[in-house]
Amino acid sequence: MADTAPASEIAAGTQRRMQRQMGTVGVLFASVGVVIGSGWLFGAYNASKIAGPGSLLAWLIGGLATVVMALNVAELGGMHHLAGGEVRFVHFAFGSLGGFALGWFQVISGVTTAPIETEAMLTYASGYIPNLVNAQAQLTPLGYVVSFLVLLVFTIINVMGIRFMSEVNKYAVWWKIAIPCLAIIAIILVSFHTQYLTGSGPVGHGQGGFLPFGMEGVLAAISSGGIIFAYSGWDSAIAFGAESKNPGRNIPIAVIGSMLIGFVIYMGLEIAFLGALRPADLVHGWTNLTLPAHVAGPFAALATGFGLGWLAFVLYIDAIISPAGTGLLAIGITSRYTFALARNGYIPGVFGYLSGRGSPIVGILFTAILGLVVFAPFPSWAELVGFASSAGVIAVAMLPPAVQALRMSDPGLARPFKLPLMVVMSPLGFIVANELILFSGFGVVWKLIFAILVGVALLLIGLYTRPATERPTLDLINNLWIAPWLVGLAVISFFGSFESAAPDPNTIPFTTIEGGTGKVLPFGIDMLVLAVYALVIYYVALFSRLRAEKTKQYIETYSGDAVDEAATMPAAG
C-alpha cells in the first residue's frame, strides 16, 4: 500500500525496514520490564484494602486467568513476527476492521501506561521531594512539570533506536527483579505472622475472616485493586516481533516466561505484606488499613516501621527505576502499534515512518504527547489503573478467537508453539477476558466504549484522507460480531453487581444488590450471563472469520511490510 506523504524523507522512512537486534534475554525482558513496574509498589496494599486476606486468592485467580490468555497469545506470537504483531493477528483472522479495533484498544492502554508509571514515581518521590503530589496523591503544578521532563527522557531513549533501548531495559530489569525479591526476604525475616494470612487476626469494624468482603471483594480486587494492571505487559514482546532474533522461539518464551516470573514475585509480595501486618494497622478495618510510620509508599512504610532504613532507601531508588523502565517500554510498544496501524492503512501513512535507526519516530512522539494529555483527567495513579487495565484486557480478548480462526483458515502454517486443548482454551480465554472487564464495573466500561467511538471517528478520518485507491477494505461482514459484543458487554456490566466507584471507607467496598448498588443482576448471575453471552459471540466470530484465500492474501501482503531479514538498514533520507 503506497504512502502519500509528500516529503522525500518521509517517503524514504516509510519504506525502511526494522532490524532484528533483540536476542532471547532482550525479548524476554521487554515483557518482564512491563510486568514488573509500579504494580509491585502499590498492588499488595490496594488489593488488601479491597479483599483483606482474600487478596491472596485474588492474585492467584488473576494469575491463572492471565496464564490462560497468555497461552493463546503465545501461539500467535510464534507464528507471525511483525511490528505491533497483535494488530496483524486479528487482521489476518477477521480483516481490517478487527485489526484496527484491537490496535486502537492497545493504543488506549499504551498511552495511559507511561503516565501511570510517571505518577507512581512521583508519588514515592514525594516522600523526600515536597510538592510533587498533594494530600490526595494527585499531581501538583510542580508535579506536572517533572512529569513532562520524565516523558521527555523516555521519548529520547526510544528515538535512539531499539538496540539502545533494549540495552537500557536489560539493566533496569535485572534491578527490577532483584529488589522485590530482596524486599520479600527482608520483610519476612524481620516480621512475619500468619494471623492475617489465614484471616484469624483481630480487625476493626467487624471486617475479619479470610474473606471479609466475600468473593465479590476478591474479584473486585483483581481489577480495581491493580492486580490485572500489575500482571499486564506479558504480551509486550510481541510488539517487537519485527526486531527479535529467532522470534518463533523467543516470543513464546517471553510471553509465558514473563507471566510466570510476575506471578511468583507478586504472590511473594502479597504474602510478605500480609505477614507483616499487626493489629494496630487494622483497628479501623481493612478499608482503612493504616501502615506504621506512614510515608509515601506502602512497602517503604513497612521498612521504615521495622527500622529497616536501608531497605526503605533502596525502595525509594527502585520507585524511580521500576516505573521508569515500564514507562520507557510503554512508549516504544505503543509506537509499534501505531506503526502497524499506519502500514495497514488505517491511520495516516506518516505513522509508518522509520528513522535511520529503525525507530517509528512519529508514533513515539505521538504516544508521548498523548501521555501528557492523559495527566489532566487522571492526575493520580489510582484513577488511571482500572481504565488502563480494562483497555488492555479488551484488546487481548480479541486474540483467543483469532487463534481458532487461523487454525481453521490456515492450518498448515508453522506454529512453533501450539496451544494445547485449543478447542477449550481459546473459548475459555475469551470468557476469562470478558469476566475481567466485568469486574472493573460499568464506570470503567462506559469510558472504554466512549474511547472506542473516538477511535471509530479517527478511522473514518484516516480513511478519507487517503486516496480512494489506497483505502483498505474494512471487511465489515467479517467483523459484525464486534459491535454486538461490546454493546452486550456494556449492558451486562450496567445491570451487573460490580461497582467501579471508590468505596465508602465506612462500608464494605463492593456489594451486590443487597448492599444498595441498584443493580438487577445479582453477584454470580451476572458472571454466568456474561459467560454464556461471550461464548455465543465467540462462535459467531468464528463463523464470520475470513475465508482461507483472504487470510493468505493478507499474510502475503503484510508479512514483509515491517520485517527485513537482513541486518542492514538503508541510509537515512
Query: Chain-wide mean pLDDT for the chain?
Result: 80
Residue 517 has pLDDT above 60, yes or no: no
Q: What is the pLDDT of residue 514?
A: 30
Residue 217, in any domain of the structure = yes
Task: Compute the C-alpha angle 423/425/426, nearest 5°.
Answer: 75
Return d(Cα 297, Cα 544) in angstroms, integer: 49
Q: What is the pLDDT of residue 240?
A: 65
Range of the domain at 147: 38-551
Tens digits of residue pLDDT in 178-235:
999 999 999 999 989 899 998 888 888 888 899 999 898 899 888 777 888 888 877 7
Element spanning 264, H or E:
helix 247-276
Residue 303, in any domain of the structure = yes
For the chain, the first-to-last Cα distance in angstroms comes to 20
Q: What is the pLDDT of residue 210?
A: 92
Q: Which of 286-300, 372-386, 415-429 has the highest mean pLDDT?
A: 415-429
CATH code, domain carrying 524: 1.20.1740.10
Tens digits of residue pLDDT in 54-106:
999 999 999 999 889 888 888 887 776 665 567 778 888 999 888 888 888 88
Residue 518 has pLDDT above 50, yes or no: no
Q: Kindly state the average pLDDT of the residues 378-403.
A: 80
Q: Which of 13-17, 241-245, 321-325 has the highest mean pLDDT?
A: 321-325
Q: How many domains does the chain fold into?
A: 1
Residue 567, in any domain of the structure = no
Q: Kindly state the average pLDDT of the residues 469-484.
A: 87
543 CB-contact burial (10 Å; exposed 0-12 / middle 13-18 / buried 19+): exposed
Residue 409, in any domain of the structure = yes
- The DSSP code for 546 is P
- Identify the residue with better confidence: 296 or 47: 47
Residue 9, in any domain of the structure = no
Return d(Cα 313, Cα 319) in angstroms, integer: 10
Q: What is the pLDDT of residue 105?
A: 86
pLDDT bracket for residue 292 (50, 70, 90):
low
Cell of 120: 507512581
Residue 212, in any domain of the structure = yes
pLDDT bracket for residue 567 (50, 70, 90):
very low
Residue 26, in any domain of the structure = no
Q: Look up the pTM and report it.
A: 0.80
SS3 category, 139: strand
Contacts of 476 (CB under 8 A, 6+ apart): 97
Residue 467 has pLDDT above 70, yes or no: yes
Residue 410, in any domain of the structure = yes
